[in-house]
Amino acid sequence: MRFLQVSWISGTWSRDTLLRAWVAALSFAAAAMCLGLVAAGERIHEVWPVVVLAVLAIGAEHESIQLRPNLEVSVAPLAYVFAAVVFGPLAAVIVAASGLLADLPRRDVSQPILRWTAWTSIRVLVAGSAGLAALVVADHVGTGFLGLFAAVAAALCVECLVDMSLGTVTPVIRGTGAWTDMFGSFGPAVIMSVPLQAPIIAVLAYAYTHLSPWSVALFAPPAFAAHRLLLLYRKQRQDTEALGLANARLERANLSFATALVATLDARDRYTAGHSAAVATYARDIASRMGLSEREQDLVHLCGLVHDVGKIGLPAGLLEKPGALSLEERRQMERHSVIGERILRNVEDYAEIAAIVRHHHERVDGNGYPDRLEGNDIPLLARIIAVADAYNAMTSDRPYRDAMPSRVARLRLAQAVESQFDTGVVAAFEAILASSDEAYRMGSSDEFALETAHGEPAKTSAMPALSADTLVAL
């Protein structure tokens, strides 16, 4: 893992000086590490395997994956930790530093030499520390498989700790990251990689030292493949987070679209202004009470907002008529559910919503419109909208009648179960209303004001109803 330095110059002299001093300190520490290892008697006794590992490390750096704007990971640690356990810390340093040889011309940054020096110095310190940890553990527990496993685990733990500690300094100096954010974001993922990598490297090391140097070729491809899959999994999680944000924006766009449609309808008929927002709130609460999924709750809420959008296509004067409708006018009014379905069907991803809007005036006894569906043939969410729609129509003021008290409207709902309304839906709504205050029952509580705050119209009145006897909210 390494942190990408997009720009080493922060624009202020103090940060630039501090960065240069930090790189100088890293370079001095790396040089001291190398000289100390040589002075302690560390040597490269098997040159060609180390050369092969160095080439693999270079290739691994070319296959690195960028997880964040300032973080990328690669499979290079697999190579130099293996070298640390099998060949010693000096070999690990050579393999680790070699991996960055091709990095200098590969990236276009303002100060590549300074950046490359910092990365290489950190890599030397990380690999050297991991090699020393493996050496100490191996001296105490031996070089059998368990001993190699312990040495690998120690090397990986030290590698992660040193890499995280040194790698986060530069972003902190530049002001592009904080210690807590760095460790909080990347620490758990790095720590979780230790139990996944340790068995792989231990098997490779045991095969090389106890079976045959050639046998490592049998384990190397799947080992690197497994590590690569781990990196791809991490990247996929990052992509999933981005997809979640995109979906959230799409949901907000859907609500904005629905709000625009409702606003268009409200501008035409002041008596229906706010009715859709009230129906949406009631419908969502009913769906929640019935134990429907969060997706279905959001969907029925959206359907409630647009259930009457088809009224936009009705003849002029029909919505604005102050009194009761004639038979012919009623037939024209009944077309609004079909018109709404046609409007929404042409909107991408609104097919399911369009079907629910089409059927929100069906009756469970088959005497509804437009398709005279019966019982469970009517979509459940449409049955929910029907109950919320009728209740809000009855409890709202109309030009030709006053709003019904909630208790009367609830009684009318109960009387119409198994003929007009679904029994389960009415029962769920009754349970909600029984435990609610009068403001909620009449659609004037803070919950309805919240709908207005999110862009939906406020509840002021309801759509025309033919009569209290039929309970049909058109």
3-state SS string for 391-433: HHHHCCCECCECCCCHHHHHHHHHHCECCCECHHHHHHHHHHH
Domain segments of the chain: what residues? 2-245, 269-453
So what's the pLDDT on residue 296? 93
So what's the pLDDT on residue 18? 80
Other C-beta atoms lying within 10 Å of the C-beta of residue 140: 10
Q: Exposed, middle or buried: residue 157 (CB in 10 Å: 0-12, 13-18, 19+)?
A: middle
So what's the pLDDT on residue 66? 53
Instruction: Report the Cα–Cα distance between both ends of the chain, in Å, rounded.
Output: 63
Superfamily (CATH H level) for 269-453: Hypothetical protein af1432 (1.10.3210.10)
So what's the pLDDT on residue 463? 29
Contacts 24+ apart (CB under 8 A), 43-48: 43/90, 44/87, 44/90, 44/91, 44/94, 45/87, 46/87
So what's the pLDDT on residue 10? 41
So what's the pLDDT on residue 264? 60
3-state secondary structure (DSSP) of residue 68: strand
Peptide bond into 370 cis (omega under 30): yes
**pLDDT, one tens digit for every residue, the chain (474 residues):** 444 443 433 444 466 778 788 888 888 998 998 898 889 888 888 888 888 888 877 776 665 555 455 555 566 777 888 888 888 889 888 888 887 776 654 444 445 677 778 888 888 898 888 889 888 888 888 777 788 888 888 888 888 888 877 877 776 776 655 556 555 555 565 666 677 677 778 887 887 887 777 766 665 565 566 556 555 655 665 555 555 555 555 555 555 555 666 666 655 565 565 788 889 999 999 999 999 999 899 899 989 888 888 887 777 677 667 777 788 888 888 898 998 898 888 776 778 999 999 999 999 999 999 999 999 999 999 999 999 999 998 998 766 678 899 999 999 999 999 899 999 999 999 999 999 888 888 887 666 654 544 444 333 333 233 233 333 333
So what's the pLDDT on residue 267? 56
- Percent of residues in the chain assigned helix, strand, coil, to nearest 5: 70, 5, 30
So what's the pLDDT on residue 370? 94
